Structure 1
Amino acid sequence: MRTILAAVGIGVLVLLAGNMPFNVLRVWNLEVGVAVPWAILPAAVYLWAYWQFIGGRWAAADSAATRRQKLRANALSPRVWGASLLAGLLGFGALVALLAFAARLVHLPASASIVTPPEMSVATTLSL
């Protein structure tokens, strides 16, 4: 049980370390330089550097071999990649169907429409 909890905890930390900086940049992009989606470039650079680090290519040499071994990000064959994309699409479709069904069972108040700043371009809106 201890191993499972440690694995889940480390997995959550790896997820947050890869995800949170882009969330901060995205919020900042919505306040500064709204017309251009500038947050994508620093986020891409960060993700590249982060992948280099967790893959064992950068930083502490004493833990590099362990990080490299535990990354386990192996290339997928085209057949497995296609099957995983199909499974993801089917799962997403099932989720949409479940939400449509649940919306018929429970009456929720109408949500407010999403409003973007007038100077925000369509590209920025779609990319953020």
Structure 2
Amino acid sequence: MRLNPVAPEIIPHQASEDIVVDGVLIEKGSTLYGSVGAVFANPENFPEPEKFIPDRFMKNGEYVHDLRVCSFSVGLRYCIGKQIAIEEQFIFATNIVREFRLVRTSGNMDIAEDLSMRFPKHSMMRFERRRSN
């Protein structure tokens, strides 16, 4: 979800009052755009941000949540469907992994960019049923 967020990465906000940030005046009513993608791709937040390194979220063999991974946004605009989405994703993924072995038959995992979703550009997969023991 950090490397390939499925939702748009731009989060618009509006300044509710005049404020100075790093010497720059932001006037009340100004529209500001936050970029979740910029947080995810910042090497200060994630060394080698372009690489998939699951161990960066592990400590002593346990998963450690990182607040900078905010795929469902943060604060007042936090996605109300987050818990359902995570549970559904977990159930779907565990059932797929338990029942099938996924084999890429062609293409690669380069990402195609769409206005609302990200997915592999040209990749064909085959689901092979696992044998029961």
With structure 2 as the length reference, what TM-score do the two structures score?
0.26
The structure with the largest helix share of the pair is 1
With structure 1 as the length reference, what TM-score do the two structures score?
0.27
Q: Flag the structure with more relative contact order, 1 or 2, with Cα contacts below 8 A and sequence separation at least 6.
A: 1
